[in-house]
């Protein structure tokens, strides 16, 4: 039988893969080489949230989403990874042309301190609505706690659900809230729970991208 030699490395081989021996053919198919050497994770110095490409979540979920977007290829059989403090150890199992291959890579995690857009707006005093609560003195601490709790919950879905500032006034308090939608939801909850009266007024505050912008004042009165 005539001997076969790889035209690239010159070694004898029993089978050719696209004209090359197995050892020369396999390195041509690499997915790991397409992955970055480092991944920048931004961390807000005020709220502590993590960001990758504008998305915010836990570090584990952000990395999983990032890798998922990069590794959507039919040749990948499985993906496993391990996250340490500043590295991701990645293992891929691939299959192509009936052959299987395992690739490994270490991606360095670089953390960068920032102030996120939401915290920047909060620090600058941005607000879309003023929530005015008027109630008996004995109810005010409880109502304030409920508002803060609802803000923390709504912030998961509405990044503008934050309190810019609050001020104690006679018979109640005024709270500046970043999101008018969240402010209205809170007011509705207080109305149902305390049978409060609600009055909403609107005032022109300027324009955003050529459109008129309004700020709402929501009076919640508990008898």
Query: What does the pLDDT read at residue 76?
Result: 80
Q: Which residues pair with 107 in a beta bridge?
A: 88
- pLDDT higher than 80, residue 14: no
CA 148, CA 142: separation in Å to the nearest integer? 10
Give the contacts of 11 (CB within 8 A, at least 6 positions apart).
Answer: 5, 21, 23
Chain segment 148-189, per-residue pLDDT in tens: 999 999 998 999 999 999 999 999 999 999 999 999 999 999
Tell me how far apart the terminal alpha carbons of the chain are, to the nearest angstrom.
Answer: 101
Give the contacts of 36 (CB within 8 A, at least 6 positions apart).
Answer: 107
Chain segment 34-59, per-residue pLDDT in tens: 788 998 999 999 988 899 888 888 88
Query: What does the pLDDT read at residue 164?
Result: 94
- Domain residue spans in the chain? 31-114, 123-221
Give the contacts of 72 (CB within 8 A, at least 6 positions apart).
Answer: none
Q: Which residues pair with 25 in a beta bridge?
A: none
CA 183, CA 171: separation in Å to the nearest integer? 20
């Amino acid at each position: 039988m005539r001997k076969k030699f790889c035209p690239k490395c010159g070694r004898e081989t029993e089978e050719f893969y696209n004209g090359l021996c197995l050892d020369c053919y396999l390195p041509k198919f690499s997915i790991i080489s397409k992955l970055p050497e480092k991944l920048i994770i931004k961390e807000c110095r005020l709220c502590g949230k993590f960001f990758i490409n504008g998305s915010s979540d836990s570090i584990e979920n952000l990395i999983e989403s990032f890798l998922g977007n990069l590794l959507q290829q039919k040749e990948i059989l499985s993906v496993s990874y391990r996250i340490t403090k500043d590295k991701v150890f990645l293992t891929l199992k691939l299959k192509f042309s009936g052959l299987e291959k395992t690739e490994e890579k270490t991606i360095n995690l670089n953390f960068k301190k920032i102030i996120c857009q939401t915290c920047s707006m909060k620090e600058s005093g941005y607000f879309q609505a003023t929530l005015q609560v008027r109630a008996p003195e004995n109810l005010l601490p409880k109502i304030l706690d409920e508002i803060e709790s609802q803000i923390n919950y709504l912030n998961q879905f509405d990044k503008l659900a934050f309190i810019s500032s609050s001020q104690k006034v006679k018979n109640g308090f005024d709270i500046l809230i970043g999101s008018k939608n969240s402010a209205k939801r809170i007011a509705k909850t207080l109305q149902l729970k305390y049978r409060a009266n609600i009055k909403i007024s609107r005032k022109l505050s300027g324009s955003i991208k050529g459109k008129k912008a309004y700020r709402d004042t929501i009076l919640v009165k508990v008898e």
